[in-house]
Structure 1
Amino acid sequence: MIKVKAYADLTKYITKEQGKFETNFNNKGKEFTVEEIINYYGIPREKIQIILVNGLHSDVKTVVKDGDTVVFFSPVGGG
């Protein structure tokens, strides 16, 4: 399994439960790119500002496998 986490307005793409920000992607032992996971969940690419894989900055071409954690952050604004 690959753990997928999303924050801010991206949570709605990975789970139907309000307040929950993570889910497991059953990769069945196969490797996937981050881009394939984004496409699977239907997350618009332009809504993702930061991608982390196992705590390291990554991009859509990064390959992930069993036991990895992928985290998506949307752009944030502040004042």
Structure 2
Amino acid sequence: MEVEIRLFASFREGREKKYFFKIDNLNLTVRDILEKLDIDEEEVAILLINGRDGKVDSVLKDGDIVSLFPPVGGG
């Protein structure tokens, strides 16, 4: 199983823009990915799975694309 993780804005600081995880665990959740990337789930403002709203406890499937956005400020 392979999933793609895309990071945006400040989540890219000290990390890559994209990650590809080859996983044998069929119960892999977004929370598991956040732990691997050392991202606190409270820091995630927008979480998309294949372009749709997702949740940290969503179980991922082969080919899923997860996009993670932190809160974005601006003026």
Query: Unpaired runs of 5+ in structure 1?
Result: 16-20
Answer yes or no: is 1:72 the counterpart of 2:73: no
Q: What is the aligned-residue RMSD (CA, Å)?
A: 1.6
- Structure 1 length-normalised TM: 0.82
Answer yes or no: is 1:56 the counterpart of 2:52: yes
Query: Unpaired runs of 5+ in structure 2?
Result: none
Partner in structure 2 of residue 2 of structure 1:
3
Report SS of the residue matched to 2:13: helix
- Structure 2 length-normalised TM: 0.86
Cα distance, 1:73–1:11 mapped onto 2, change above 3 Å: same
How many residue pairs match? The answer is: 74
